[in-house]
A = this chain, B = another copy of it.
Amino acid sequence: MATAPPASMALAASTASKRDTICIFGTGDFGRALAQKLIQSGYPVVFGSRSTKPSSLVPRGAEVLSHVEAAQKAAIIIVAVQRQHYSFLSSLAEALQGKVLVDVSNNLKIDQYPESNAQYLAQLLPDAKVVKAFNTVSAWALQSGTLDASRQVFVCGDDAEAKRMVMELVRALGLTPLDQGSLLAARQIENYPLQLFPMWRFPILLSLSLTIFFFLYCLALDVIYPYVYRKQDLSFLIAVSIPNKVCPVLALVLLGLVYLPGVLAAILQLWRGTKYRRFPGWLDRWMLCRKQLGLVALAFASVHVLYTLVIPIRSYIRWRTSSQIVSQALSNRTQPLDTTNAWLSDSYLALGILGFFFFVLLGITSLPSVSNSVNWREFRFVQSKLGYLALVLCTAHTLVYGGKWFLVPSSYKWCLPPIYMLSLVVPCAVLVLKFVLVFPCLDKPLTQIRQGWERNPQRPEPSHLIINKSAV
């Protein structure tokens, strides 16, 4: 009765009831933290060390042996040693033959050495199978269990089976392995933890320089101009009023810049009559940082909202309101309601609120966990349709805000237009171009081009093309 049928017998491998021993070279922070985590996950751990006398720092349950003895006990050896000490490993070449060596090291600078640490290790020990892994995980995160920062472990190596074994190990520790290909990728993997928001650099630099420009522009018109002509000290406007002019301008310009490359790409494709030629490098890079541009724009929009909502609390505004009312009362005037003004004021507020709402919706959808749970069509619907809706609403908000002041000469101090007029250039250009591209005479060929049609085809096998979701 106890004999299981043969099919399931094959599955229940009776031999491997224990996990395989893992060897760690080096009893430093990271080696010890990893050892502790491995022991928790049921792996026997043996340390390879120069001095084999047991240290109080080595986690309980781990054995400390000489390097050679430790290496013999395991198929996977984690080299938790600094690169400058790798040279001693060549003396162990015989013991390490055929073993899987896991390079976990990091550098202090990007591209510090001519070759990656893992490649250097592979050169030292050509008979071992070197796999790069674990370098993105910190000793502290392993020990405290608070893997707030990435659970992702990038893995690369030239030996597929060695890589598979290491990825299995990574998974057993509750981490997520990501196969990055051959050992050539080690360079990139070693640089990764040293990077500081590389995709954000351009959007942040751009917005910083625009901020400085627009800030100085406003300073000239709003503080220096009245000081020069009317000897008024309005320097306190620097704290709230001027930022509250710069922020919405930047939000609108950056939002326009998010959608401009898509329009330019469409024009380029129409011009070339094919989608099979690469875009120029600047356009490619621009398109890849659209998400970051959009989020920076959202940040400026959010700050603008807060700055706007505190207006009635500001001491200056309260003073202005009360002195207006007092002067009205003293002059015994009662103004009737100006319905046009009420309409304009309410409209631009409503447009701004709705624009901001859709903008925030876009921001939420770009959270990794949200964008992972929608399909491609839904993602494009939100990012394209709702994005253009937000752009239209925010542009209209600015236009209605400007209202009748566009034509009043006194708006143009020193012959310079007010800042909100400048902010309208990019979004209006985008909207006009997009509007033109929507016409069937342009939209139809564009759709065909994006489905693989070419005006001057030069490729051998157009019939086998698969229509896929086009980008942009």
Contacts and interface: CB of A to CB of B under 8 A. Distances in A.
Contacts of A228: none
B464 A26 contact: yes
B375 A149 contact: yes
Contacts of A470: 140
Nearest to A107: B467
A11 B465 contact: no
B376 A136 contact: yes
Interface in A145-186: 146, 148-152, 158-162, 165, 171-174, 178-182
B372 A239 contact: no
Contacts of A42: 160, 179, 181-182
B138 A376 contact: yes
Contacts of A410: none
Interface stretch (A250-258, A338-346, A416-424, A425-433): A338-346
Interface string A455-472: 000011101111111110
A389 to B, nearest CB: 14
A373 B367 CA distance: 10
A51 interface: yes
A292 B16 CA distance: 42
Interface in A307-351: 307-316, 318-330, 332-335, 337-339, 341-347, 349-350
Given A2-B97, A326-B328, 11 more contacts: A11-B20, A29-B452, A80-B464, A104-B466, A149-B376, A193-B469, A239-B350, A305-B306, A314-B346, A367-B367, A368-B372
28 contacts: A1-B94, A2-B98, A7-B20, A9-B75, A12-B161, A14-B98, A16-B160, A26-B466, A29-B465, A29-B468, A42-B181, A81-B464, A82-B464, A106-B467, A144-B288, A149-B371, A150-B376, A197-B378, A299-B361, A303-B353, A303-B357, A305-B306, A306-B357, A312-B313, A318-B321, A319-B338, A323-B335, A326-B333
